Amino acid sequence: MGLRLFTLEMAVIAALAAMPAAAQEEGAKYGGTLTYMIPADAPPSFDGHREGTFALIHTAAPFYSVLVRVNPYNPGSTTDIVCDLCTAMPQPTDDGKTWTFKIREGVKFHNGDPLIAADIAASLNAIAFPAKDVLSPRSDNFMMVKDIAAPDSTTVVIHLKFATSAFWPALANPFNWIYEKKILDKDPHWYEKNIMGSGPFKFAGYEVGQSIKGVRNPDYYHKGLPYLDGFVGINAPKQAVQLDAIRADRAAVEFRGYPPTAIGQLKQQLDGQITVQQSDWNCGSAVWFNHKKKPFDDVRVRRALTLAIDRWGSAPGLSRIANVHTVGSIVFPGSPLAPSKAQLQTLAGFWPDIEKSRAEARRLLKEAGAEGLSFELLNRDIDQPYKYNGTWLVDQWSKIGAHVTQHVVPTGPWFAAFRSGDFAVGLGGNCQSIVNPPIDLQTWLPRSVSMANYGYYDDQKEIDLYEKMLHEPDLAKQRADMWDFVKWLTDDQAHIAFLLWWNRLVPLRSYVNGWKISPSHYLNQDLSTIWLSPPHCGKCADEPPPKPAG
Amino acid sequence: MYRYIVKRILLMIPTLFGAAALVFFLMRLIPGDICVIRLGSGGTSFTEQALAACHAEIGFDKPLWLQFVNFVWGFCRLDLGTSMWSGKPVAYEIAARFPVSLEIAILATIIAVIIAIPLGTISALKQNSSTDLVVRTFAIAGIAAPSFWLGIISLLVVLDLTQIFLGKPWMPPIDYVPLWQDPLRSLSIVILPAVTIGYRYSAVAMRMTRSAMLEVLREDYIRTARAKGLINRIIVNRHALKNAMLPVVTVIGIEFAFLVGGLVVTEQVFNLNGVGRLLVQAVQNQDYTLTQAIVMLIVTISVLSNLVVDVLYAWLDPRIRFA
C-alpha cells in the first residue's frame, strides 16, 4: 500500500498481539473495596473534556471508557496503546491519513443505553471541534484531525490532515471520555455536573470536596474485570494527612506520588506492609529567561546560566530529597524520540565536565559584560519540586559569580507575573499526561504560537524546525528532526534551561495488586485491574460475582 | 428590650455593607486569574481562545461596578451566586461544608466552657496558690501552642501510642459523616479537632473568667454577702459568677463566630471538609464569588453572635438595657 508504518504503531500492534485474551490476572481475587487518597481538593467539574486537573482523573476515570488507551498492563511504555472500546487497532489507509475503528458491540452506558459509534464520534468531535460556548483546552492536540465520523453503529472513521505520530497519543489521552451523544446533543454542559459513563465502575455517591464512591459495573465489557466490588476516593490535599491515613490503613494507596523522604518514612513505619513503585514522570522543570528583560535577551547570558547547572552531578543528591530524578532533554527520556546520552552530553548544561562548562559560562558572561550578574528568580510557593529546584539553582549560579535571590509567591501571583511578563527569570515547567513529545513540547514554542511560553521571544527558525519534525511520518527521521529542534531551543539559542525530569514514587499497601505505575499520574487510573489480597477482598472469590437479576 | 434589639439589628446593615465592599475590592487587588489557574495549573499549555471562553463563561467581561451591584443585590436577596470554579451554586458549596464546621464549633465551645469556667473560678478563688499556678500555666500553654500544631501532635501521639500498645497504628476516620447519620462515627472524627481547638479556646476563656472573678470577688456586694454569713458556694455561684460572666460571654461569642469559618489550618490538618478549608481553596483558586460569600457568611455570623452577646448582656445586667 506504499505506506510506511510508524514504528510506534508497530509497537502498538505487537503489544496488542502479545496481550492475553482473557483479562484475568493469575491468582487475582474478586471483592473488596479500595480506599485511596486523592491528593487534591474537589475538581472544578466532572467533565473530562474541559478540565485538565489530575483531581478529576483520580475522581471519575473509573466511570468512563475511552476509544483507545495506554495498555493498563504495560503503562510504563510510551508507545503501547491498545483498544478500549474498539475491537482491534486499525491499519491506516490513505497514506496514514485515514483510520477506521471497529467498535465493540453490546457495550452499555450505566443508564442502560447502548454505546454505539455515534457516541464515540460525538465525544471526540466535542473535544476536537468544540462548540462556541464549550471549553476544550485540548482541542489543539487534535490539530492533525480533519474530521471524525460514524458511518454506522460499529464504525468510527477519523480523517487526518496529515500523517503524524502525534495522533495516537492524542487519541489515547485519558481525558477523552466517551459520553452519550443523546445527552451531549441535549445539553453539552450536562457532564460538568453529572457522571454517567460506561467504565468499570458505576457512580455510587459523591460528597463534594470529600469523597467519591463507585461500585462494580457487572456489565463491563472487558471480561472478568473489574475485580473490586467498589472504591472510595477521599480528597485530602495535605500530604501529612495522606501519609497518616496510609500508615493507619484508612487508605491503601495514593496514586500521584510522594517525595523520597516521605516514602522513606512510610517504609520505616510500615516495614513489609508497603510496596513502592517508581517511574520517571512526564513533568519537567525549566527556567524561563524573559527575553524582554536585559541582559536575558543576550544568548551568551542565557547559555552561561544553563552551562552553570551541574545536572549530572546534582541529580543523585537532589533525588534523595526532592521528586526529581532523571537528567534529560525536553523530550521525555523513555520516548523513542528522545536524544541519546551521547547527544545529550553535547548540549549546554549537560556536558560531563562541569568545570569546563562553568569556565565557558564565566567566559560568556565576561564577553557579554555581565560578570557578577545579579537577578531575582521568580518561584512558586510549592515545595516539590519548585522550592528545592529554586534553592539548587541559586547555589549553582553562585558558582559562576551570579548573585541570585528567590522570589517565592503563591500560584496566583506566580501565574500573574509570568503572564504579565513582570519577571526576569522564572522557574516553571511542563507537565503532561500521556507521553506525546511532539505535542508535549508545544509549551516551548515561541510566543506567537504558544501563550504558555513565558520567554517572550519569537523565533521563526524554531517554529520551522518544529513543523518539520511534527509532519515527518518516518520515526527515525522524526527523531533526527527532533534533535535539531532540541539543540536549537536549549543549546544554540538557550531560550530555556531545562532542569531535571520529575520522579514518581507511589506507595501502595502490600495487599493492593494489579496496578502498574506509568510516567503520568493521569494514566491507568480506571482501577479495573486492581485486586486486593485476602482478607481485604472480603469473600475473595476466584470468579466474578454473578450479574444481578434484571 | 425590643427597641434595643431593633437598634442593634439596624446597626448591622452598614457593617455588612462595609464588609461587602471591602471583600469585593480587596479580592480584585490580588494578582492572578482564575482561568489561568484552572487551565494551566499543572504547567500545561492552553490557547488564548480557551482563556477567552473561560472568561466569558464566568462573567469577567462585565464592568466592575455592575459586578459589585450584582453581588450586593444578590446578597440582599440571599442569592450568593455561582462558584466561578465549580459552576455550582455557592449556597450548595457552603451547605455541603457547613455542618462539619458547625459541629466542631459547637463541640469545641462545649469543651472550652466545661474546662474554662470551673478552672478559671478555682484559679481566682485560690489566687497565687500552687493550684492557681498550675491552672495559669495550663492556660498560657493553651494560648501559646497553635491549634494546628496541637492537631498534628495529637494525631501523631494517637498513631504512635496505638502502634505501641495495639501493634497497629490507628487514627480516626477521615471521611466525615454528619451527626444525624452516624453519631458515633461523626463524633470519633471531630473529637480530636474539637479538643485541640477547645483547649486553646478554653485557655482564653479561662484567663478571662479568672480576672473577671477576681474583680467581682473584691466588690462591696460580695463583702456584704460574706458579712451576712452566706456560705461560700452560694456567694460564688449566685452572686460572683453571674456577674463575672459578662466578659466571658463576650469572649465565647467572638470565638464561636471565628470557629465557624476560621478553622483554616485545623481543618487541613484533620482533613475536615469545612468552611475554613473551602475559604482557602476559594482564595487559592481566585474564585471571587465563593470567597465573597464565605467572608460575608463569617461576617454575618460574627455580627449575629455579637447581637446575641449584646442581648445576653442586657439579660445579665439590666443596667445595660436601660442605658
Q: How far is B142 from chain A (nearest CA, A)?
A: 23
Is residue A271 less than 8 Å (CB to CB) from chain B? no
Q: Which residues of B touch A419 (CB under 8 A)?
A: 33, 36
Stated as kind and residue range, the H or E segment containing A387 is: none
ipTM over 0.90: no
Residue A387 Ramachandran class (φ > 0 left, ψ -120 to 50 alpha, else beta) = alpha
CB contact under 8 A, B44 and A52: yes
CB contact under 8 A, B45 and A442: yes
Stated as kind and residue range, the H or E segment containing A112 is: none
Can you tell me the distance from the alpha carbon of B25 to that of A76, in angstroms, rounded to the nearest whole number?
49
Q: How far is A24 from chain B (nearest CA, A)?
A: 32
The answer to whether position B75 is within a domain reads no
Residue of A238, A378, A523 to mutate, testing the B interface (most B Cβ within 10 Å of its Cβ):
A238
Q: Encode A228-253: b = buried (16+ Cβ within 10 Å), e = exposed.
A: bbbbbbbbbbbbbbbbbbbbbbbbbb
Q: How far is B146 from chain A (nearest CA, A)?
A: 17
pLDDT at A101: 98
pLDDT above 90 (res B246) = no
Instruction: Tell me how many degrees the CA angle A142-A144-A146 measures, rounded to the nearest 5.
Output: 95
pLDDT band at A546 (very low <50, low <70, confident <90, very high): confident
CB contact under 8 A, A451 and B57: no
Is residue A382 less than 8 Å (CB to CB) from chain B? no
Q: Which residues of B touch A269 (CB under 8 A)?
A: 163, 169
pLDDT at A457: 95
pLDDT at A206: 93
Q: Which of B41, B54, B169 sits opposite A53 (nearest CB)?
A: B41
pLDDT at A315: 96
pLDDT band at B45 (very low <50, low <70, confident <90, very high): low
Q: Which residues of A touch B37 (CB under 8 A)?
A: 411-412, 415
Is residue B315 less than 8 Å (CB to CB) from chain A? no
Is residue A544 less than 8 Å (CB to CB) from chain B? no
pLDDT in tens, A240-286: 899 999 999 999 999 999 999 999 999 999 988 999 999 999 999 99
Q: Which of A53, A135, A140 sits opposite B54 (nearest CB)?
A: A135
Nearest to B312 by CA among B5, B10, B3: B5
pLDDT at B157: 93
Instruction: Domain count for chain B, please give it.
Output: 1
pLDDT in tens, B2-33: 777 888 888 888 999 999 999 898 888 877 77
The answer to whether position B3 is within a domain reads no
Is residue B61 less than 8 Å (CB to CB) from chain A? no
Task: Kindly state the average pLDDT of the residues A422-438.
Answer: 90
Task: Look at A431 and A368; give whichever has higher pLDDT.
Answer: A368
Distance of CA A531 to the CA centre of its chain: 24
Can you tell me the distance from the alpha carbon of A385 to that of A389, in angstroms, rounded to the nearest whole number?
6
Q: Which residues of A touch B269 (CB under 8 A)?
A: 238, 240-241
The CATH number that applies at residue B196 is 1.10.3720.10
Task: Kindly state the average pLDDT of the residues A286-309.
Answer: 97
- Helix B275-285 / helix B241-262 crossing angle, nearest 10 deg: 40
pLDDT at B271: 87
pLDDT above 70 (res A9) = no
Is residue B152 less than 8 Å (CB to CB) from chain A? yes
Is residue B155 less than 8 Å (CB to CB) from chain A? yes
Closest B-chain CA to A209: B273
Can you tell me the distance from the alpha carbon of A147 to that of A159, in angstroms, rounded to the nearest whole number?
5
CB contact under 8 A, B278 and A413: no
Q: Which of A210, A244, A417 sits opposite B159 (nearest CB)?
A: A244
Q: Which of A135, A235, A412 sits opposite B50 (nearest CB)?
A: A135
Quote the cell numbers at residue A355. Answer: 568545570
CB contact under 8 A, B271 and A238: yes
Residue of B45, B269, B281 to mutate, testing the A interface (most A Cβ within 10 Å of its Cβ):
B45
pLDDT at A3: 35
Q: How many CA atoms lie within 13 A of A368 on its CB side?
A: 22
Quote the cell numbers at residue B177. Answer: 459523616
* Percent share of chain B, pLDDT over 90: 34
Can you tell me the distance from the alpha carbon of B140 to that of B123, in angstroms, rounded to the nearest whole number?
13
CATH number (3.10.105.10, 3.30.420.40, 3.40.50.300, 3.30.1300.10) of A280-503 reads 3.10.105.10
Is residue A208 less than 8 Å (CB to CB) from chain B? yes
Cell 527575553 belongs to which residue? A291
Closest B-chain CA to A54: B42
The answer to whether position B283 is within a domain reads no
Which A-chain residues 450-469 have CB contacts (< 8 A) with chain B?
450-452
Task: Kindly state the average pLDDT of the residues A206-225.
Answer: 94
Q: Which residues of A touch B97 (CB under 8 A)?
A: 209
pLDDT above 60 (res A201) = yes
pLDDT at B46: 66
**A7-252+511-532 architecture in CATH?**
3-Layer(aba) Sandwich (3.40)
Stated as kind and residue range, the H or E segment containing B35 is: helix B34-40
Task: Look at B310 and A254; give whichever has higher pLDDT.
Answer: A254
The answer to whether position B234 is within a domain reads yes
**Contacts with A168 (C-beta within 8 Å, 6 or more apart), sequence order:** A8, A9, A12, A68, A81
Full-model pTM? 0.85
Task: Look at A10 and B129; give whichever has higher pLDDT.
Answer: B129
pLDDT at A122: 98
The answer to whether position B274 is within a domain reads no
Is residue A194 less than 8 Å (CB to CB) from chain B? no
Is residue B167 less than 8 Å (CB to CB) from chain A? no
Q: Are A155 and A85 in contact (CB under 8 A)?
A: no
pLDDT in tens, A449-484: 887 789 999 999 999 999 999 999 899 999 999 999
Q: How far is CA A208 from CA A497, B88, B96, B176, B272, in A?
A: 40, 11, 7, 11, 12
Cell 529542534 belongs to which residue? A485
Task: Kindly state the average pLDDT of the residues B184-192.
Answer: 91
Closest B-chain CA to A232: B175
Is residue B300 less than 8 Å (CB to CB) from chain A? no
CB contact under 8 A, A54 and B42: yes
pLDDT above 90 (res A134) = no
Cell 461596578 belongs to which residue? B65
pLDDT at A12: 43
Is residue A133 less than 8 Å (CB to CB) from chain B? yes
pLDDT above 90 (res A442) = no
CB contact under 8 A, A133 and B155: no
**Most confident segment among A113-127, B134-148, B215-229:** A113-127
Which A-chain residues 297-326 have CB contacts (< 8 A) with chain B?
none
Q: How far is CA B205 from CA A235, B118, B139, B259, in A?
A: 35, 11, 9, 14
The answer to whether position B82 is within a domain reads no
pLDDT band at A119 (very low <50, low <70, confident <90, very high): very high
pLDDT at A157: 98
Q: Which residues of A touch B156 (CB under 8 A)?
A: 244
pLDDT in tens, A325-355: 999 999 999 899 999 999 999 999 999 999 9
pLDDT at B252: 86
pLDDT above 50 (res A393) = yes
HEC readout, A244-311: HHHHCCCCCEECCCCCHHHHHHHHHHCCCCEEEEEEEEEEEEEEEECCCCCCCCCHHHHHHHHHCCCH
Residue B202 lies in domain: 96-267+309-321
The answer to whether position B201 is within a domain reads yes
Is residue B169 less than 8 Å (CB to CB) from chain A? yes
CB contact under 8 A, A245 and B97: no
Q: Where are the domains of chain A?
A: 7-252+511-532, 280-503
pLDDT in tens, A64-115: 999 999 999 999 887 899 999 999 999 999 888 999 999 999 999 999 999 9
pLDDT at A414: 84
Closest B-chain CA to A50: B39
Give me the amino acid identity at A233: G
Count of other CB atoms within 10 angstroms of residue B322: 9
Q: Which of B36, B41, B44 sits opposite A419 (nearest CB)?
A: B36
Is residue A27 less than 8 Å (CB to CB) from chain B? no
Q: Which of A44, A209, A410 sits opposite B273 (nearest CB)?
A: A209
CB contact under 8 A, B47 and A140: yes
Q: Which residues of A touch B273 (CB under 8 A)?
A: 207-210, 235
pLDDT at A118: 98
Q: How far is CA A255 from CA A320, A516, B321, in A?
A: 20, 10, 61
The answer to whether position B256 is within a domain reads yes
Chains A, B: CB pairs < 8 Å: 157
Is residue B54 less than 8 Å (CB to CB) from chain A? yes
